[in-house]
Structure 1
């Protein structure tokens, strides 16, 4: 069932833009006639002329809405200087109401253009269908017609212009939930390495569970790649790295490691490099973002260590890659465990808990229960130490420093961090990042 209708009047001539109430009657009548018991929300997208003021769009529509009682409270006119600004505003309205199925009614000539905007600003969570909108010859009415099926593509230069328009608009948006904050470790020498762990503040993501500096996009979440890219751009400015030389692990919850400069695997949870100026990163939203630094050989690594990756030894696999590829001595490698879900909050089914109990019984609390509490950080430390990493070269503030300046529990701090365990499926993601300074 269609949950929302978007009427695109953005390309209408200026004289018609200023008198949309007369144009809309027929369109609204058609929408109401084809609506089921719950009328859809209707958004009318119009062009705001440069220098004009927004004044009483909703009020000016009241005469047109007199006969459409079911739509009156569900219709909003959105005026903006650009299509990107109008469509992003409408996306916010859809997300506020958790709407996903949208019918777009627009002039046939605009369809291929609109699809490019939709592809960039929305994810696969949303479903779009299109119908043609035609202005009658006397320019006094709008009519809806079945969409023509022929597919066209937009020239590459036009797609580039749309991308530029979207990027310019997103860059103009204010940061949400305060300033962008980066947590840094005193263990990693800052004369050799640039590094940090992000928190959730200082980005533009507005959906509550993603707000505000979400750094991961997927087809199952509502934050598109362009928003994540803008969050990353702001992080790069604050941290001082080049966002165009940035590589994030491709999570598979295993122990594969990508050696930069070699063939990149389809998926991997660890990444290592000795290239200067290249920033590598591992995400986390309960799983541990782990950073590795060797100031002697000037090499670094990052790993994503969830409970599966921890059991499979992804952290030691990352260490071993640094040793074999760059000649690192295991005793020189520094390891920092970033914000992650703590043993205070994290539970697993009993069968999975058994594997952690084998590593060390102290990794499991309430072992005999159906869902024991698990300490994936302790398991990671034990596996690193058994692989030759010196205990003093591992930073886990939940043990070594009760002030917790790095290894916070993500589930316990909703103001600072995202948490899949706490927030559910539409969760945001923070990262740990590191690079070798030029």
Structure 2
């Protein structure tokens, strides 16, 4: 069942403006007839240009639309200077009400354009269906021209213009929830490496569980890739790295490692490089973003270590790749564990807890319960030390000085961090990142 209707009146042909009242009345009547039980929310998009370019149209169109808005409950008029701005505002209204099934009623000539905007600004969470705006049948020329582009692909330059319009609009939006904040470890020398762990402030993501500096887009979540890209651009500006030379692990919750410059695996949870200016990143929203730095051989790495990856030894697999690829010495490698779910909050089923108990009984609390508490950080440290990393070269939550600590519990700090465990399926993601300075 359709939950919302979007009527696109952004670029109506001049001969339709003369009968805008009848056109909108008929459209709304048709919407009501199709939804006799559940009346969907209705959004009408129109253009609000600066200057005199379409001033006459605005003076005529807006009063009519405002009049309908006052008469019909659940109808909202959204005026903006660009389609990107109007559609993004509509998306915010949909997300406020948790609506996902949308009918778009629009002139046929706008359909291919609108599909490109929607592909960029929405994810697979949303379902769209399209319907032609029913025109008054006294204009044969209009009816003939209506279908001339239907089904054709937009020229690539038009797609590029739409992408540029969306990007410019997103760049103009204010940051939410305060300034962008980066946590840094004192263990990694900042004269050689650029690194940090992000928090949730300073981005443009507005959905509560994703707000505001979400750095991962998924078909199952409501933040599109373009929003994540804008958040990353702001992070790169603040941190000082090039977002075009940015490599994030392709999470598989396993232990494969990618070596930058070699054939990239389909999925991997560790990544290493010795190339200057290439930024490596690992996500985390309870799972541990782990950073690796060798100041002697000037190599670095990043790993995503959830409970499965921890048991599979992803951190040592990343260390071993640095040793084999760049001749690193175990005793020179520095390892920092970033914000992640702590043993205070994290539970696993008893069967999975057994595996952590085998690593060290201290990794499990209330072992005899159905869902014991698990310390994946302690397990990661133990496996690293057994692999040859020096204890003093590992930074984790054993650091008691809060000014030095970067391994906060993500579930315990909703103001600072995202947490899948705490927030559910539409959760945001922070990252740990590292690169070798030029």
Between 1:255-264 and 1:28-37, the stretch displaced more is 28-37
User: What is the match of residue 272 of structure 1?
Assistant: 272
> Given that residues 204 and 212 in structure 1 are in contact (C-alpha distance below 8 angstroms), is that contact kept between their aligned partners in structure 2?
yes
Shift of 1:36: 3.5
Aligned residue number for residue 398 of structure 2: 399
Q: How far apart are the structure 1 equivalents of 2:51 and 2:18?
A: 14
Segments of structure 2 that go 5 or more residues without pairing to the other structure are none
Going from structure 1 to structure 2, the CA distance change for 1:47 and 1:17 (only over 3 Å counts) comes to farther
Change in 2 beyond 3 A, CA 1:15/1:199: farther
Deviations 1:384-423 (A, max 9, x none): 0000000000001x21224163000000000000000000
| 2:318 alignment partner in structure 1 | 318
> 1:329 aligned to 2:321?
no
Question: In the alignment, which residue of structure 2 is the partner of 1:425?
Answer: 425
> What is the alpha-carbon distance in structure 2 between the residues aligned to residue 65 and residue 321 of structure 1?
62
Give the deviation of 1:170 after TM superposition: 0.2
* Contact 1:57–1:77 (8 Å) recurs in 2: no
Change (3 A) 1:127 1:330: same
Distance 1:205 1:26 in 2: 37
Q: Distance in 2 between matches of 1:74 and 1:135?
A: 24
2:308 is aligned with 1:298: no
**What is the CA–CA distance in structure 2 between the aligned matches of 1:320 and 1:24, rounded to whole Å?**
66
> For 2:255 and 2:289, how far apart are their aligned partners in 1?
14
Give the corresponding residue for 1:103: 103
Question: Structure 1 residue 109: deviation in Å?
Answer: 1.0
Contact 1:419 1:427 in 2 (8 A): yes
Residue 167 of structure 2 corresponds to residue 167 of structure 1: yes
The 3-state SS of whatever aligns with 1:232 is helix
- Superposed, 1:14-33 pairs within 5 Å as 20-33=20-33
- TM-superposition CA deviations, 1:237-296 (whole Å, max 9, x none): 000000000000000000000011100000000000000000000000000000000000
Could you say which residue in structure 1 is the equivalent of 2:415? 415
User: Matches of 1:411 and 1:386 in 2, distance apart?
Assistant: 28
Relative distance call for 1:37 and 1:382 in structure 2 (3 A) is: same
* Matching residue of 2:390: 390
Structure 1 stretches of 5 or more lacking a match?
A: none
The answer to whether the 8 A contact 2:203-2:213 is kept is yes
Quick one: distance in 2 between partners of 1:408 and 1:349? Answer: 23
For the residue of structure 1 that corresponds to 2:232, the secondary structure is helix
Query: Taking structure 1 as the reference length, what is the TM-score of the superposition?
Result: 0.93
Residue equivalent to 1:339: 339
1:137 Cα deviation (Å)? Answer: 5.4
Matches of 2:306 and 2:116, distance apart in 1: 36
* 2:288 matches 1:282: no
DSSP 3-state at the match of 1:197? strand
Q: Report the 3-state secondary structure (helix = DSSP H, G, I; strand = E; otherwise coil) of the residue aligned with 1:384.
A: helix
Call closer, same or farther: CA 1:159–1:58 in 2, change over 3 Å.
Answer: closer
Question: Counterpart in 2 of 1:39?
Answer: 39
Residue of structure 2 equivalent to 1:355: 355
Q: Secondary structure at the match of 1:400?
A: coil
CA RMSD of aligned residues (A): 2.4
Asked if the contact 1:284/1:430 (under 8 Å) is kept, the reply is: yes
Are positions 1:207 and 2:207 aligned together? yes
* 1:61 to 1:235, Cα distance in 2 relative to 1, 3 A: same
> Is structure 2 residue 250 aligned with structure 1 residue 250?
yes
SS in 2 for 1:115: helix
